């Protein structure tokens, strides 16, 4: 199994069990999330609660909840939305922090293509949700999520250069 960690915070943000598609000249990874139901499962063990002096739901917690698989699996923490000015400020800082951590070849590729990827994200800004890893580090990469037109499940966007591959 391969886990992808945030290069800046070390948080696990993705794994190879969630296939990705490269977009924006390989700058962004697009990953499909899914809403899943999590919680108590009703198992019929054949017992008759009324004959055993119990009520039908005694001691059961049937609080099933819907969660997004990627958010739940990697314990992503939702952040408040950015306006355009906050987003540009974040991106400038992110580029400044990330660039020195990349090798020379990746730095050139990142510098060459990050502007187009940023414009792509800016065009979707009002539709984006923002997530960070479990540590909630101020210097962490942000994971973006949005719903494609007509979709019921979210699509997640990751800066590819901000991820480090770790084999488990």
pLDDT in tens, 146-157: 999 999 999 999
Report the pLDDT value the prediction gives residue 119, as an integer from 0 to 100. Answer: 97
Helix residue ranges per DSSP H, the chain: 69-73, 84-98, 104-123
At 94-128, the pLDDT tens digits run 999 999 999 999 999 999 999 999 999 999 999 99
- In angstroms, the CA 58 to CA 128 distance is 42
* pLDDT recorded at residue 45: 62
Q: Which of 76, 93, 98, 83 is nearest to 144 (CA)?
A: 76
Ranges of residues in the chain with a pLDDT under 50 are: 59-60
Which pLDDT score is estimated for 47?
59
Between CA 35 and CA 22 the distance in angstroms is: 22
CATH assignment of 2-36+70-167, given 3.10.20.440, 3.40.50.720, 3.30.70.920, 2.170.150.10? 2.170.150.10
82, 83, 85, 90: CA torsion to nearest 10: 10
What is the pLDDT, as a whole number, of residue 123?
97
Decide: 162 and 8 in contact? Cβ < 8 Å: yes
Spans of all domains in the chain? 2-36+70-167
Yes or no: say if 122 and 146 are a contact pair by the CB < 8 Å rule.
Answer: no
- DSSP tag of 23: E
Instruction: Give the SS3 label for residue 38.
Output: strand
């Amino acid at each position: 199994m391969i886990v992808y960690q945030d290069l800046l915070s070390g948080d696990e943000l993705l794994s190879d069990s969630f296939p990705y598609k490269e977009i924006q000249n390989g700058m962004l990874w697009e990953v499909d999330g899914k809403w899943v139901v999590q919680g108590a499962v009703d198992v019929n063990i054949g017992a008759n609660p009324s004959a055993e002096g119990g009520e039908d739901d005694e001691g059961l917690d049937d609080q099933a909840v819907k969660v997004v698989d990627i958010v739940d699996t990697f314990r992503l923490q939702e952040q408040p939305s950015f306006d355009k000015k906050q987003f540009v400020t974040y991106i400038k800082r992110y580029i400044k922090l990330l660039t020195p951590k990349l090798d020379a070849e990746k730095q050139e590729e990142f510098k060459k293509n990050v502007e187009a990827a940023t414009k792509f994200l800016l065009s979707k800004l009002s539709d984006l949700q923002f997530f960070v890893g479990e540590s909630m580090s101020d210097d962490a990469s942000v994971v973006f999520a949005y719903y494609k037109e007509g979709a019921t499940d979210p699509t997640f966007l990751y800066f590819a250069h901000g991820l480090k591959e770790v084999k488990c």
